């Protein structure tokens, strides 16, 4: 096993971009040959760091430099650690099943879409539809998404498990760190956030108090997150309990249902009224 040696994989040869398929074949080849540390010089390839498995169970460290394509770390396996030295494109951690991913910059849309395990940490803001359709199996630990800044629109749509933490540092919208229409269809999981918001789906989600256990978990992991994204000096600023709120899914019994309009009422108040106006 070449655990102490680094395999350097180039995404461009002779001035030409290597296809995503060929780059993945090369990554799989060097992992199969025993390398556990990879440095990928990316040039827009998709799916980097996904589906990596080592028979010897030794962790695989993938460092990515250069522009990444979509689905970085997609279908990631436990034991895979991916670090991007810069921003990332859409669908980071798509269907993630255990990989740990660190982005030293902003990330695009669809981050953590369908994630079931693993952790994604972003040292910036993210685009729309992050943490959507996530899952949780009680046999395993919750999937986690940590965002230093803010999130884009439709965050947590159909979220069914996991934990999100939105720190609100240098947000893309200082008046709304949660974006437009967050948590629509949410049925599980929870989100810690810091900063103002412009509402969320109260049909599906609710604000709850930050408990002592919540705060102990948040501060312990917050310190680790800030160390990972190289922002440890922010801890004192962020470790103010009064600035944090928690959103969680409503139970089925708590779901707010709108009253159905009867046909008689619709006919009288809408149909006849519209016809009368048209006449």
pLDDT of residue 56: 83
Give residue limits of the domains in the chain. Answer: 1-85+98-104, 107-279
Beta strand pairing call for 244-249 and 188-194: antiparallel
51 Cβ neighbours under 8 A, 6+ residues apart: 28, 74, 75, 76, 77
Lookup result for tokens 């002592």 = 212
Q: What is the largest CA-CA distance in the chain?
A: 84
pLDDT of residue 4: 61
For residues 107 and 131, the answer to whether their CB atoms sit within 8 Å is no
The whole-number mean pLDDT for each consecutive block of 10 residues of the chain, a chain of 279 residues, reads 81 96 97 96 97 89 97 97 98 97 98 98 98 94 97 98 98 97 97 97 96 97 98 98 97 74 85 75
CA distance 94 to 134: 10
pLDDT of residue 256: 64
| pTM for the full predicted model | 0.90
pLDDT of residue 272: 85
Residue 163 host element (H or E): strand 160-166
The closest of 84, 192, 178 to 128, measured between CA atoms, is: 178
For residues 108 and 126, the answer to whether their CB atoms sit within 8 Å is yes
pLDDT of residue 92: 98
For residues 11 and 66, the answer to whether their CB atoms sit within 8 Å is yes
pLDDT of residue 114: 97
Token pair in block for residue 234:
């922010």
């Amino acid at each position: 096993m070449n655990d102490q040696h680094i395999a350097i994989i180039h995404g461009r040869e002779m001035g030409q971009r290597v296809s995503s398929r060929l780059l993945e074949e090369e990554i799989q080849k060097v992992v199969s040959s025993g390398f556990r540390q990879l440095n990928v010089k990316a040039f827009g390839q998709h799916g980097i760091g996904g589906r990596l498995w080592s028979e010897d169970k030794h962790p695989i460290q993938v460092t990515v430099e250069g522009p990444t394509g979509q689905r970085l770390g997609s279908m990631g396996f436990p034991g895979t650690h991916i670090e991007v030295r810069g921003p990332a494109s859409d669908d980071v951690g798509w269907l993630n099943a255990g990989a740990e991913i660190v982005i030293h910059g902003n990330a695009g849309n669809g981050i953590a879409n369908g994630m079931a395990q693993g952790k994604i940490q972003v040292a910036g803001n993210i685009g729309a539809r992050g943490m959507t359709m996530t899952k949780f199996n009680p046999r395993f630990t919750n999937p986690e998404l940590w965002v230093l800044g803010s999130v884009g629109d439709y965050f947590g749509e159909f979220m069914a498990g996991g934990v999100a933490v939105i720190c609100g540092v240098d947000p893309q919208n200082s008046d709304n760190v949660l974006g437009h229409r967050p948590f629509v269809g949410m049925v599980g999981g929870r989100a810690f956030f810091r900063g103002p918001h412009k509402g969320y789906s109260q049909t599906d989600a609710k604000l709850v108090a930050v408990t002592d256990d919540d705060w102990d978990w948040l501060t312990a992991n917050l310190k680790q997150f800030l160390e990972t994204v190289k922002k440890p000096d922010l801890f004192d600023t962020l470790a103010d309990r009064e600035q944090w709120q928690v959103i969680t899914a409503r139970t089925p019994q708590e779901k707010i249902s709108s009253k159905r309009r009867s046909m008689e009422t619709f006919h009288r108040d809408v149909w006849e009224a519209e016809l009368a106006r048209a006449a």
